[in-house]
Amino acid sequence: MARLILVCGPVGAGKTTYSMSLCAEIKAVKFSIDPWMQALFAKDMDSLDFSWIMERVNRCHEQIWEVCEQILSLDGSVVLDLGFTTRVQRDVFVNKSRALNIEAEIHYLDVPTETRRQRVANRNVEKDPKVYSFDVTDMMFNFMEPKFEVPDASELANGRKVIV
């Protein structure tokens, strides 16, 4: 049976690590936004312009969805590690999955801010290729921090809150 899982949480919550573990557990294909953005757009980015970034994130989302749709139509499972900063972003994929008669699951990683800051600092130093795509600076962390919208109970009805 096909499954679509959207992994969300603020910067440094451990979305990629959680997604890799979940994929191994349920035998799913994982898509992460960071390598896509790094490979396709990092050289073109000269500032933290949220609208510029989100336009490109949305382009990646469209391409990722085309492949996801094929996997799901073959009864495969997909884990999306796309950040899903806002409810609007999550709703796009929830609605796309409903069009395929699949009820998306949202997994929200709830991690204290200071724990996340330390994880990001460690990741920037370790540069583990499994989870590292680029350095996340303090400026980037602080820029994104207020933008994350915590999923409410209705969004998590078919998913879960993961407290780390």
Give the CATH number of the domain where residue 20 resides. 3.40.50.300
- The closest alpha carbon to 131, from 30, 29, 6, belongs to 30
In this predicted model, what pLDDT tens digit does every residue of 53-86 receive, in sequence order? 888 888 999 999 999 999 999 999 999 999 899 9
> How many CB atoms within 10 Å of residue 64?
18
C-alpha 31/C-alpha 65 separation (Å) is 10
Lowest mean pLDDT: which of 46-50, 88-92, 125-129, 154-158?
46-50
In this predicted model, what pLDDT tens digit does every residue of 115-158 receive, in sequence order? 999 999 999 999 988 887 778 999 989 999 999 999 999 999 99
pLDDT of residue 83: 87
Q: How many domains does the chain have?
A: 1
Q: Residues near 151 by Cβ (< 8 Å), separated by ≥ 6? A: 8, 87, 90, 106, 108, 159, 161
For CA atoms 152, 8, 93, 99, the dihedral sign is negative
pLDDT of residue 44: 83
- For the chain, helix (H) and strand (E) counts, in that order, are 6, 5
DSSP code at position 150: -
Answer yes or no: is pLDDT of 50 > 80. Answer: no
Query: Considering the chain, what percentage of its residues have pLDDT values greater than 70?
Result: 99
Phi and psi for 28 in degrees, rounded to 5?
-120, 165
In this predicted model, what pLDDT tens digit does every residue of 25-43 receive, in sequence order? 999 999 998 888 888 887 8
61, 149, 162 from 93: Cα distances, Å: 9, 16, 20
pLDDT of residue 36: 87
6, 100, 116 from 23: Cα distances, Å: 12, 21, 22
pLDDT of residue 48: 66
Q: Which domain holds residue 8?
A: 3-163
